[in-house]
Amino acid sequence: MAEIFRLLPSYCAPELDSKQRDTLLKNGEYILPGGDSMETVKYTIDTTRSPFYLHYVYDFTTGQRGFLSFELKKITRKDGTILIIFSRYGGVPVDAHQQELIVFNYKNKKLIPNKENLLLKEVPIKYYLKDNTPDSIASKIKNVMNASYSLNSEDPNSISFDLLPVVPLEELEKYILGDSMSLTWDGKKFVKKLILYK
């Protein structure tokens, strides 16, 4: 996955040139130059979880709570061709959301954006709610949830889109069926299944 990380377009690793990416991969951490006691930004990367997954984070050493979390995942089609999923999630802990999701074709050591609609940038809130939930309630629930993809470092064919409440749900909880949408790759498409509350 290190090779894929090196090939990513610049917007997938903001402020890092190729030498800085290599340093990050080698050391597991890289502090961007030009920082001071008011604001210093660092990257950390984990390349050890699995051969089909990579995770890196952009945050601050100076106490600010903002962050960006990036994930890469390699999946294989039935015909043997490779797709790379890139995900960016971030904000601050109480208001963080999926910011970007791109699927790339990986061929001849190049990443080319895939034009198929294999994944939505965000799974609509209605898929997590009971039938006939009023739109006003759905909107309230969406406003109190952080939502993002998790590309799953353990299963090569599974990802999920997860909701995480940032405040107690109280009376809203009765409308919610589950908070994680499992998306399983079958070699051609992602098959979605809501993980229901028990």
Q: Is the pLDDT of residue 93 over 90?
A: no
Q: Which residues contact 87 (CB under 8 A, 6 or more apart)?
A: 70, 71, 72, 73, 98, 100, 101, 148, 149, 151
Domain ranges of the chain: 2-196
Long-range contact pairs involving 87-92 (C-beta distance under 8 Å, separation at least 24)? 87/148, 87/149, 87/151, 88/12, 89/148, 89/149, 90/58, 90/66, 91/66, 91/67, 91/146, 92/65, 92/66, 92/67
Integer Cα distance of 21 and 10 in angstroms: 11
Average pLDDT over residues 9-28: 96
Residue with tokens 């999630």: 89
pTM: 0.92
pLDDT band at 197 (very low <50, low <70, confident <90, very high): confident
Q: Is the pLDDT of residue 77 over 80?
A: yes
Q: Is the pLDDT of residue 47 over 80?
A: yes
Q: Is the pLDDT of residue 95 over 90?
A: no
Q: Is the pLDDT of residue 189 over 90?
A: yes
pLDDT, the chain, mean: 94
**pLDDT value at residue 81:** 96
pLDDT in tens, 128-156: 999 999 999 999 999 999 999 999 999 99
